[in-house]
């Protein structure tokens, strides 16, 4: 067979002195890197993706995974990946796929924004001993409220409130379908969402019956493939999301490769086993804002007016599009920046289309305020929220809440190797192979995800305390409490923040 001229990205090595031939690396590797040669472990390093499952499960710490030192000649312009992709394309004629959000070296605005803190002239708050409110309601808010005094002297809200999603913290889980991730991974998200008072999102893959007990913490999704969408599904969750786009692949559709479609997934999606599940980029019933409005209200009619979220990728004209979405009747606008993750996307799309979420939040929040419709919908920001600080900055820029997915998967073992599209995830997350998914014990990993959310909750409260405010509402759109460092005037203007020192 013709040997690929695309060199391996990583070198898997075993210290033969330390190796006790226990074969755990063979069992644990979902990629087939290791095999038994009769007297020693054999290594096929071209299959290695550096997911580090073998490293963690080697009892003797005999395994080391190195970046391949035999790379092409160093070249600042022709990077390793450019050359490697050309070689792969020359061999296959195919589009190189990738998983995860973009790993390219674009500026990260979150890292150039600093949060304010109180000193001397205004008191900070100690969140460990004083109440601190993170409760968040997603949905349309009335432009004014009428309150009347009842006969018993108590104040009563007269205005009928539109439906709201109640969250105990301003962080939800981004949509990831059954198919793109394993059912056990979805269970982890559902259990953590229930425990922490937030919501997970089914993505476009239907709702497996095992998740029905968590339905008050689930948002369901309708996308162009309509996988798993029936009346039970629409009415199961607290809200319905229409997916138009995804930050990792704006303007292109979903593609779940046949390798990830065994019987259970095929059943939930109602398609043949082993076919590629295609959610095309256009929803062929939506060619305009008016058409979007039609689908939003079709869903509302079918669900007795549950809140409807519309998810779009952050693209150049995002502010005008978001305005249209709000005017079309959406209760939530979900913005997904170009760093947002994916189970499978062509790398050429992931790394070159869209805009960062930071710009998108600021632009959309500005636009909706200018048009006087900011109260008509909540903004959820997603696409590379790596820490509670990123979340706090996104909220200060104007988001009502943030959505996380990669951060959640990392608690389940993910090392961001980016090979989710192969269906071989050795951590049992982005795979449907039963021997791999069985590794992900939902209860064990739910606890880790709950820990993460608790930790971020504490951190957010500390940030609010340092800012001298006691409610996340006071941070929302409060760009006065952000300063930019090393950002040019135009970027500062778009973000609506002052440079540090001003």
Partner 1 sequence: MFEIDAKGSYYRDLNNKVRDAISKGEKEITLKNINGQYYIGDGLREKVSIIIEGVPGNDLAAFMDGPTIRIKSNAQDNIGNTMNSGKVIIEGNAGDVLGYGMRGGKLHVRGDVGYRVGIHMKGDKKQAPTIVVGGTAGDFFGEYMAGGLLILLGLDENDPRPIVGDYLGTGMHGGMIFIRGEVDEKLCGAEVGIMDPDADDLKVLKAALTDYCNDLGLNLDEIMKKSFKKLIPVSLRPYGNLYAY
Site residues (vs partner 1, CB under 8 A): 85, 88-89, 91-97, 222, 224-227, 229-231, 234, 255, 257-258, 266-267, 269-272, 274-276, 278, 280, 284-285, 294-295, 297-299, 301-303, 346, 421-422
- Minimum gap (Å) between residue 117 Cβ and partner 1: 48
> Interhelix angle for 388-397 vs 357-370, to 10°?
30
- Residue 6 and residue 16: Cα distance in Å, rounded? 27
- Comparing CB distances to partner 1, the nearer of 94 and 150 is 94
Q: Are strands 498-499 and 482-484 parallel, antiparallel or unpaired?
A: parallel
Positive or negative torsion for Cα 163, 169, 172, 173: negative
Question: Which residue lies nearer to partner 1 by CB, 20 or 263?
Answer: 263
User: Judged by CB, which is closer to partner 1: 278, or 373?
Assistant: 278
- Tracing tokens 């779009």 back to the chain, one arrives at 312
Question: Which phi and psi (to 5°) does residue 430 adopt?
Answer: -100, 55
CB of 196: closest distance to partner 1 in angstroms? 31
Distance in Å, CB of 496 to partner 1, minimum: 38
Q: How far apart are the first and last CA of the chain?
A: 65
The answer to whether the beta carbons of residues 329 and 138 sit under 8 Å apart is no
Q: What is the C-alpha separation between 67 and 202, in angstroms, rounded?
A: 35
Q: Which is nearer to partner 1, 250 or 254 (CB)?
A: 254
Task: Select 7 or 258, whichever has its Cβ closest to partner 1.
Answer: 258
Nearest distance from C-beta of residue 3 to partner 1, angstroms:
16
Burial class (CB in 10 A: 0-12, 13-18, 19+), 438: exposed
- Cβ proximity to partner 1: between 17 and 301 the closer is 301
Nearest distance in Å: CB 93, partner 1: 8
Closer Cβ to partner 1, 283 or 388, answer by number: 283
Q: How far is the CB of 262 from partner 1 (least distance, A)?
A: 13
CB of 103 to partner 1, least distance (A): 18
Q: 255 or 393, CB closer to partner 1? A: 255
In whole angstroms, how large is the CA radius of gyration of the chain? 24
Min dist CB 219 to partner 1, Å, is: 17
Which candidate, 149, 169, 148, places its Cα nearest to that of 158?
A: 148
What DSSP designation does 471 have?
B
Instruction: Return d(Cα 289, Cα 323) in angstroms, integer.
Output: 10
Copy the structure tokens of residue 298: 């079709």
Task: Pick the closer one to partner 1 by CB: 64 or 285.
Answer: 285
- Contact indicator for 181, 405 with CB cutoff of 8 Å: no
Yes or no: say if 248 and 345 are a contact pair by the CB < 8 Å rule: yes
Question: How far apart are CB 68 and partner 1 at their closest, in Å?
Answer: 18
Q: Classify each residue of 315-338 as buried b or exposed e, where b means 16 or more C-beta atoms within 10 Å of its C-beta.
A: beebbebbbbbbebbbbbbbbbbb
């Amino acid at each position: 067979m013709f040997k690929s001229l695309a060199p391996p990205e990583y070198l898997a090595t075993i210290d033969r002195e330390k190796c006790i031939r226990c074969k755990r690396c063979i069992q644990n590797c979902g990629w087939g890197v290791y095999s038994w040669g009769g007297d020693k472990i054999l290594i096929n390093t071209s299959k290695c993706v550096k997911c580090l499952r073998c490293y963690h499960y080697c009892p003797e710490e005999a395994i080391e995974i190195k970046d391949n030192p035999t790379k092409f000649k160093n070249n600042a312009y022709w990077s390793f990946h450019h050359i490697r992709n050309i070689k792969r394309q020359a061999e296959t004629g195919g589009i190189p796929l990738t998983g995860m959000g973009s790993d390219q070296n674009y500026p990260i605005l979150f890292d150039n924004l600093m949060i304010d803190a109180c000193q001397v002239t205004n008191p900070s708050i100690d969140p460990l001993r004083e109440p601190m409110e993170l409760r968040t309601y997603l949905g349309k808010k009335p432009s004014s409220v009428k309150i009347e005094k009842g006969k018993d002297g108590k104040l009563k809200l007269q205005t009928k409130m539109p439906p709201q999603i109640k969250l105990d913290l301003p962080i939800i889980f981004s949509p990831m379908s059954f198919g793109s991730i394993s059912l056990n991974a979805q269970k982890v998200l559902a259990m953590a969402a229930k425990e922490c008072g937030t919501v997970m999102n089914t993505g476009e893959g239907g709702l497996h019956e095992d998740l029905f007990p968590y339905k008050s913490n689930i948002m369901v999704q309708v996308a162009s493939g309509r996988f798993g969408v029936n009346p039970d599904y629409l009415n199961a969750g607290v809200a319905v999301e229409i997916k138009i786009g995804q930050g990792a692949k704006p303007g292109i559709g979903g593609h779940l490769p046949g390798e990830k479609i065994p019987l259970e997934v095929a059943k939930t999606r109602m398609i043949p086993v082993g076919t590629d599940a295609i959610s095309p980029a256009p929803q062929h019933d939506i060619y305009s804002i008016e058409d979007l409005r039609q689908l939003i209200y079709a869903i509302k009619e079918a669900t007795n007016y549950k809140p409807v979220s519309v998810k779009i990728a952050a693209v150049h004209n995002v502010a005008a599009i978001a305005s249209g979405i709000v005017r079309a009747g959406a209760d939530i606008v979900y913005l997904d920046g170009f760093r947002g993750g994916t189970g499978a996307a062509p790398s050429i799309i992931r790394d070159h289309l869209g805009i960062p979420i930071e710009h998108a939040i600021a632009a959309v929040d500005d636009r909706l305020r200018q048009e006087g419709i900011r109260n008509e919908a909540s903004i959820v920001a997603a696409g590379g929220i790596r820490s509670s600080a990123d979340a706090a900055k996104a909220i200060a820029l104007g988001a009502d809440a943030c959505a996380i997915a990669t951060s959640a998967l990392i608690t389940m073992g993910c090392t961001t190797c980016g090979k989710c599209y192969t269906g071989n995830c050795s951590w049992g997350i982005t795979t449907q192979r039963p021997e791999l998914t069985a590794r992900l014990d939902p209860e064990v990993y739910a606890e880790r995800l709950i820990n993460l959310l608790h930790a971020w909750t504490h951190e957010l409260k500390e940030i609010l305390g340092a800012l001298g405010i006691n409610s996340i509402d006071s941070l929302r759109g409060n760009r006065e409490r952000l300063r930019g460092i090393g950002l040019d005037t135009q970027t500062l203007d778009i973000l609506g923040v002052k440079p540090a020192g001003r």
